[in-house]
Structure 1
């Protein structure tokens, strides 16, 4: 009898422990909303469309053939990311995928405070939450270049480049805003220098052709948003960047709305060199200039003169033949609000 009572006591203790663990696990599951093992899908939209009951559960879901988990705002909708953010304060720390006007699914950066330089999910939100991402290119991880750009690979590094090998050329790609009204643009780009590059050393300078680098514009005729220029050396060489003391200034329609950097710091022109060791516009590696002094780099922020629904155009431009030099893009991320 004594042994039987001891056995019951052990069973009781084990039951209490397991019950507590189950309660804790249930609370944690409820808190973080890891519901997706029951609702696998290729995207938030896919899960939403296939599982009507998921419409009542916003939370983190596991996505097949994708990132480990993403936040899906199943219970929210609005005319824009900003609209959802403003009308639902609880989304302020929930960056993820939301459906706009109950149909268009898009990534929304909802984080209100910038917490770390280079944090993809929070840097733009230092200007306030509710940003809609319209492009996220990372050739090294996703492998593809958008239509209008040409993919290249050298020494194991992949990138996007101009389509033509001839001189004085630009290659353009457009990113749809799906009719979203916006007045602010935030984003970043990363690239590499091949051979020689002259930044703003063009004459005449028109918005259609004015830089060795990446031009971000909207509308027709084009209106400038931001420029990522590529100079020859990281010093005061005449063909270098205005922020490095160059004799060439940025055109009036650009003003100070640009980043400029060189990947070369040895003052030796080498047309065949690929300067992969010093990425462009990342806010570091400006050896002898102040071109990396902006504390917001690699991110930029631009407020336009008024609201618009224009698609955004990104153009890689190159003054010389590809054999003597080019600008290579491997990352581009843009948000609108």
Structure 2
């Protein structure tokens, strides 16, 4: 006779994701405990006996297996990792101040100490774009883009830190080039951090914007035109508020077309730079930034483009992860 747990597995998990159901039922069903749920908090609330059982659980929104640190709590991700060495390299959900569940990782961009995730966008797996960005699909590839089709435009979205104080930010982004892009072409024409200074993605914090990181999109990977990345030979350097805190890459080598989507070479992933040195930074795709002081500011991400989306091109974003410490 089928157990209640097995029936649950078959009827619920199978309907969520057929391809993973066999793996789940064969590998994890008979391992105690087996408590599927919509979140770690959901599992904990429905199964109080799990409060002393930190481990890997199946989250049904996916489904996916995640680490739920049921027995660990602290004032921050850093606090949890520092005070509980046995958590080791276990990225997962932990309870902050015994109430709020947050996702923590022990190391980001090579910097250890415990990091709290505030942004996790992955349109490639079926997620949605955040408010302020527009979701589109082309050739089966989903991505976020600017809302307006006009020239010299940016579309922004804000991510709250829920009052968490932080001084360090790390993360990564992945994008694609569509048609024409111009990297830092406008940065030497009086553009400020509040204006259009980049073709790509700008990461800032606070109402009076302060720069964190820039992901620039140049026209070609291997030609020294004014529209290229500085690392590909462009004479246009980033503005002073950016300095060296940026990644720049192109999705094509030496040709471009207005309606072309360059999905074969993702941007800022640390690979695909044929003849330029734009992929030389060893920490790519991750960046790390230490701010001048602590803050609880929200973090803003802006997609900007030089020309109209349909008239010449734009930068497309499908992944964005940001962590604070």
For the superposition of Structure 1 and Structure 2, which TM-score range results when normalised by the shorter chain? 0.7 to 0.9
Question: Which residue is 1:121 aligned to?
Answer: none
Equivalent residue of 2:88, what SS?
A: helix
| Pick aligned residue for 2:128 from 144, 152, 164 | 144
Structure 2: runs of 5+ lacking an equivalent: 1-27
1:50 Cα offset (Å): 2.0
1:66 Cα offset (Å): 2.9
Distance 1:290 1:141 in 2: 30
Question: Which residue is 1:78 aligned to?
Answer: 74
Bigger Cα Rg: 1
Question: Which residue is 2:210 aligned to?
Answer: 223
1:125 Cα offset (Å): 6.1
Distance 1:281 1:35 in 2: 41
**Contact 2:109 2:286 (C-alpha < 8 Å) held by counterparts:** no
| Pick aligned residue for 1:204 from 168, 190, 209 | 190
Normalising by structure 2, report the TM-score.
Answer: 0.86
Equivalent residue of 1:200, what SS?
A: coil
Cα distance change of structure 1 residues 211 and 205 upon mapping to structure 2, 3 Å threshold: same
The answer to whether residue 59 in structure 2 is matched with residue 63 in structure 1 is yes
Question: Which residue is 1:285 aligned to?
Answer: 272
**More strand as a share of residues:** 2
Cα distance change of structure 1 residues 73 and 240 upon mapping to structure 2, 3 Å threshold: same
Distance 1:272 1:307 in 2: 44
**Contact 2:176 2:262 (C-alpha < 8 Å) held by counterparts:** yes
Alignment of 1:277-316 (within 5 A): 277-316=264-303
Normalising by structure 1, report the TM-score.
Answer: 0.83
Cα distance change of structure 1 residues 103 and 142 upon mapping to structure 2, 3 Å threshold: farther
| Pick aligned residue for 2:318 from 324, 327, 330 | 330
**Contact 1:168 1:317 (C-alpha < 8 Å) held by counterparts:** yes
| Pick aligned residue for 1:168 from 137, 152, 157 | 152
State the Cα RMSD in Å: 1.7
| Pick aligned residue for 2:98 from 95, 102, 109 | 102
